A = this chain, B = another copy of it.
Amino acid sequence: MAGRQPVSAESASSAEPAQTAQGSTGVWFVGARGSVATTAVAGCAAVTAGLHSPAGMVTETPPFADACLPALSSLVFGGHDIAHCPLPKRAEELAAAGVLPHGLAAAVRGELTAADSEIRPGGPQSGDTRSDEELIAAFTADLADFRTRRGLARVVVVNVSSTEPQPTPDAVRLPPSSLYAAAAVRAGCPYVNFTPSTGLRTAALTDAVAASGLPHAGRDGKTGQTLLRSVLAPMFVQRALSVRAWSGTNLLGGGDGASLADPAAAAAKNAGKERVLADTLGHTPEGEVHIDDVPALGDWKTAWDHIAFEGFLGSRMILQTIWQGCDSALAAPLVLDLARLVSRAHEAGLSGPLPELGFYFKDPDGGPAGLSEQFGQLLSFADRLREAK
């Protein structure tokens, strides 16, 4: 890392971006000005600078010490977004809302500015007349330019944009998440889909993905209610208790709250949530899941679950859980984990879906549904990365 100049406020604001060592990993966020990406960029800098512990980052725990993951300090950030608010300003907004600690935005202003200078316009924007192919080509060029100009060994594309509506069967164009995913594949970039949007999971991309030999992971980060469900549902099964109904309500007010107020987007999200129960319990219990947009809550998410189960001699019992968390603070460390793991998987020559990363997802590419088994698989994956070239 000797040749790497530190990404300081001065260097970042200079016209010529800092040269980074051969071997550095780029992290390209689709939705680069959103809460999750902003928190990830700011948090990576804060942890690197020793301002905060790496709480929430599984890849910073001992089992991953020798897995040859790229150092947090070596990650170079960029991305696409259709929003224009500069990252330092977004970080100030998040601090005002209690999502980021006060003072952090100022402390890592240089890194935020540096990442901001690598954000390119996303699309399609309202009124955009470009074809799917034109958009994919433009995004691909952005990725290639980032990699070349910054001298990166590889760039991991991570979708952290707002959930898009489920595509209708007669849609004439690809959903935006799939345009970005197609660009990632075309540019030779490993891909992570942290949202329930389509991304790579469309027949239109199946062949290209397979031919690319790229590793990829998804779908839909597991940060709250579903995380809980993935430990509670196995408990009921292991204890031979019969789950009759599992109902849930989510209240959230950030960008995700607004986009999920669209029933089509909520449907995409709920499909993942229900998958965990069906896969674990072996049946789909009664009950619904609601996602309500409550702007007053901002980025703070509340999830209430009500589980009606039956025990010995038909006795009826209830478990309720209330989870109050900050969505971005839950998601950002997992996003950094995934970028590092998938970057290393690419370096190690792995290709195709990575079911061993099911620990992170509501709707993974196979593998077990219970968190504990998923954690076991993640540890095995760390072993595999350690032993790879």
Which residues of A pack against B, CB within 8 Å?
A: 39, 42-43, 46, 52-58, 60-61, 96, 98-102, 104, 227-228, 231-232, 234-235, 238-242, 244-245, 247, 249, 251, 285-288, 290, 292, 294-297, 302, 304, 306, 308, 310-315, 317-326, 329-330, 332-333, 359, 370-373, 375
Residue of B whose beta carbon sits closest to that of A292:
B288
CB within 8 A of A311: which of B315, B319, B326? B326
- The residue from B98, B308, B329, B372 contacting A297, defined by CB atoms under 8 A apart: B308
Interchain residue pairs A-B with the least CB separation, the first 6: A372-B372, A244-B296, A315-B329, A56-B312, A317-B325, A245-B296
- CB neighbours (8 Å) of A231 from chain B are 231-232, 234-235, 372
The residue among A39, A310, A311 with the most chain B CB atoms within 10 A of its own CB is A311
Whether A239 and B251, one on each chain, are in contact in the complex, defined by CB atoms closer than 8 angstroms, is no
Among B99, B235, B294, B306, contact of A308 (Cβ-Cβ < 8 Å): B294
Copies in the complex: 4
Question: For residue A39, which residues in chain B have a CB less than 8 angstroms away from its CB?
Answer: 312-313
In the complex the two chains form, is B240's CB within 8 Å of A61's CB?
Answer: yes
User: Beyond A311-B333, A319-B322, A321-B321: 11 further Cβ-contacts under 8 Å?
Assistant: A55-B310, A55-B311, A100-B313, A104-B313, A234-B372, A238-B371, A285-B296, A312-B330, A318-B322, A318-B324, A371-B372
Residue of B nearest to A372 (CB): B372
Q: List 22 A-B contacts (CB under 8 A).
A: A39-B312, A46-B313, A54-B240, A57-B240, A61-B240, A101-B313, A101-B314, A228-B232, A245-B251, A247-B292, A249-B290, A251-B287, A285-B296, A286-B294, A302-B306, A304-B320, A312-B332, A312-B333, A317-B330, A319-B321, A320-B321, A321-B322
CB closest residue in chain B, given A329: B315
Cα distance A119–B287 when bound, in Å?
A: 35
Shortest beta-carbon distance from A215 to chain B in Å: 22
Q: B247 contacts A247, CB within 8 Å?
A: no
Contact residues in B for A239 (Cβ distance below 8 Å) = 56, 58, 227
A243–chain B nearest beta-carbon distance, Å: 9
Known: A54-B240, A294-B245, A296-B245. A323 touches B319 (CB 8 A): yes
- Report Cα–Cα, A381/B292, bound state, in Å: 41
Q: Give chain B residues whose Cβ lies under 8 Å from the Cβ of A286.
A: 294-296
Q: Is the CB of A235 within 8 A of B102?
A: no
A302: B residues at CB distance < 8 A:
306, 318
Which residue of the partner chain B has the closest CB to A310?
A: B55
What B residues does A304 contact at CB under 8 A? 249, 304, 306, 320
Tell me, in angstroms, the Cα distance from A158 to B142 when the chains sit together: 65
Known: A55-B241, A234-B231, A371-B235. Contact between A324 and B317, CB under 8 A?
yes
Taking a contact as CB atoms under 8 Å apart, the answer to whether B98 and A98 are in contact is yes
